Chains A and B, each alone.
Chain A
Amino acid sequence: MAPIAIDGVRKVYPGPVEAIPNLSLEIADGELCVLVGPSGCGKSTLLRMVAGLEEITGGEIRIGGRRVNDLEPAERDIAMVFQNYALYPHMTVYDNMAYGLRNRGVPKAEIRALVDEAAGILGLSALLARKPRQLSGGQRQRVAMGRAIVRKPQVFLFDEPLSNLDAKLRSQMRVEIKRLQRRLATTSLYVTHDQVEAMTLGDRLLIMNHGIAEQVGTPMDVYHRPATRFVAGFIGSPMMNFLPGRVAGDGRGVHLPGGWLLATAKARGHAGRPVTVGIRPEHLQPAATGTDSDTITLRTELIEVLGADTLVHGRLDGHDDTVIARLPGSLQVAAGDNLPLAAEPGTVHLFDETERAIGHV
């Protein structure tokens, strides 16, 4: 059990490619922190630096207070689960799990006991004599987990461990990983590009973009108070609607396409300047018919019925991009209708020209 400290870490690949310019993150003992971000943003790079598989160009990484920059992976007391599992194909399930223990000189009887225990936890006891190729994808995944937990390391590192599984198995394993991590209370770093996985698994999320930490926070934080426009767009599905706005000269509101005026004093510091207004589809609600300045009228173009919800795609006057609203499934609406909508209070996000959040209205 150990906290992880990532302190001003930088990574430059030969080329040179600066994958991570400068990143800091503290992960508390027993916490599960999820690294999430688009492909190529440096998630694996960061994870592999913690693992010791990739050299650290600058900064420092500490595990349990011990500086590990110059330690071999095996000396860092970590275990890693890979996307393609990386099981040794010629070894049995038992040997796959025992290999790391043997290399550490653990006595035979103890290895037996440890492997049996791990296999029991993961339901692998009947499969110990099989080779990886005789296992299903889900079983292989379990063996990869088993290989990680059998050593009782201080830190678990996961690099997209579920992305090779089908949707059903993925959600099942997700729950299982969460349960296992809770039970063992091992500090974990989990890489994924799946936001559902990120939201459901993480005690905290680190959202990365181009090697930069956009925001660190709990799932609730990043959903309700995204720090940047990138985070706002990345978390949530369907994606948040972004509308171009301009702060009124007196700073008392924001003018939006379609004659909508968002009354707020939060953007006072930006009077007269352009801002971006973000509203999640699920935070738009049908409004009473009218031409109040706090309602917008959506010219609906496409209706997607999901059952519980209905996704309405449409456009606003004076704005070209599609706007999506997630409305109750009971609502009767047809393509071509003009639909008056209003935003739930407290769910509208304002971003300045540098795409940082100004406030939430």
Chain B
Amino acid sequence: MVERRPVMTVVQHLVLILGAALFVFPIYLAFVASTHTGVEVSRGLPLFPGDQLVTNYGTVLSDGIASAGAPPLGLMLFNSTVMSLAIAIGKIAISLLSAFAIVYFRFPFRILAFWTIFITLMLPVEVRILPTYEVVAGLGMLNSYAGLSIPLIASATATFLFRQFFMTVPDELTDAARIDGAGPLKFFRDILVPLSRTNLAALFVILFLYGWNQYLWPLLVTTDESYYTIVMGIQRMANVGEQQPVWNLVMATAILALLPPVVVILSMQRLFVRGLIEVEK
């Protein structure tokens, strides 16, 4: 849409700026809060940054927030990253392979397999949490990275996305690859996966965030503090019973917890946008 009226341009920008501000404001407040002393923050949320930035972040990062009732921040960030990466990569791997099987192979019970996968869509962790816990406990996977991530991997959410995408890949490409001597796995590796690159990037971002934001499941399967995730940590810090939460440190942690997802989004966004601009085929 090309509008040449300056008034419209101004209005459009105003609306966009307002919208952006609406989303950024809470984050700004959190950041501001993380730059003041605990006492200042508990008197009411300040609107402008204070001078405690280095001190607060130093505290959070170095001797941990043990004082605030959680394990060291670095460990929690690491745990969250491991879990989110495992979930994102695991889900993508499973979805790619199952979509490949469903679209390109004729095997017995193919339709049944398809519907079974479909049904897993209706069973997110929250629904199957008790039986899943039972299984994970039985397998001795409580308090482990495997326990944190595998149950969340085990649903083929993205299979449909890839199935849909694979079905748009022209049959002639498959034929050409067969004539060029590419077996199924070579075709998958050399042609399908590279062609799915933009889908992969988008999905990776979504799944990484999904993993990062998991709360209920990690809470259930970890009793050992060394497996706590950052989201759990923040919750622990904000919920300290009788005591007053140390809001400035909580906010600093929250800001730090935002960073890895932001990094993932920004780095993937480049690929994602490039993929959108350069239309393949």
| A interface residues with partner B (beta carbon < 8 Å) | 48, 51-53, 72-74, 78-80, 82-84, 86-90, 99-100, 103-104, 133, 147
CB distance from A70 to the nearest CB of B (A): 15
CB distance from B281 to the nearest CB of A (A): 5
CB distance from B69 to the nearest CB of A (A): 51
Would you list 20 pairs from A and B whose C-beta atoms are within 8 A, ordered by A residue?
A51-B175, A73-B175, A74-B178, A74-B180, A74-B182, A78-B179, A80-B175, A80-B179, A82-B176, A86-B170, A86-B172, A88-B173, A88-B190, A90-B194, A90-B197, A90-B280, A99-B182, A103-B182, A103-B186, A133-B281
- A51→B179 CA distance, assembly (Å): 8
- A83→B278 CA distance, assembly (Å): 23
**Majority SS of interface residues in chain B?**
helix
Number of A-B contacts (CB under 8 A): 65
Complex interface: chain B residues within 8 A of A90 (CB):
191, 194-195, 197, 280
Residue B181 contacts which of A53, A89, A104 (CB distance < 8 angstroms)? Answer: A104
Please tell me if B7 contacts chain A, counting CB pairs below 8 Å. Answer: no
Complex interface: chain A residues within 8 A of B263 (CB):
none
B278 and A82 contact, CB distance less than 8 A = no
B179 and A79 contact, CB distance less than 8 A = yes
A74 and B175 contact, CB distance less than 8 A = no
Q: Which B residues, 146 to 172, have Cβ-Cβ distances below 8 Å to chain A? A: 170, 172
Please tell me if B279 contacts chain A, counting CB pairs below 8 Å. Answer: yes
B191 and A88 contact, CB distance less than 8 A = yes
- A74→B187 CA distance, assembly (Å): 13
CB distance from B271 to the nearest CB of A (A): 13
CB distance from B70 to the nearest CB of A (A): 46
Interface string of B197-230 (1 = CB under 8 A from A): 1000000000000000000000000000000000
Complex interface: chain B residues within 8 A of A53 (CB):
175, 178-179
Complex interface: chain B residues within 8 A of A51 (CB):
175, 179
Q: Which B residues, 13 to 44, have Cβ-Cβ distances below 8 Å to chain A? A: none
A-B pairs, top 7 by smallest CB distance, nearest first, are A74-B181, A100-B180, A86-B172, A103-B181, A86-B176, A89-B280, A82-B172
Complex interface: chain A residues within 8 A of B281 (CB):
89, 133
CB distance from A62 to the nearest CB of B (A): 18
Complex interface: chain A residues within 8 A of B172 (CB):
82-84, 86
CB distance from B119 to the nearest CB of A (A): 28
CB distance from B24 to the nearest CB of A (A): 37
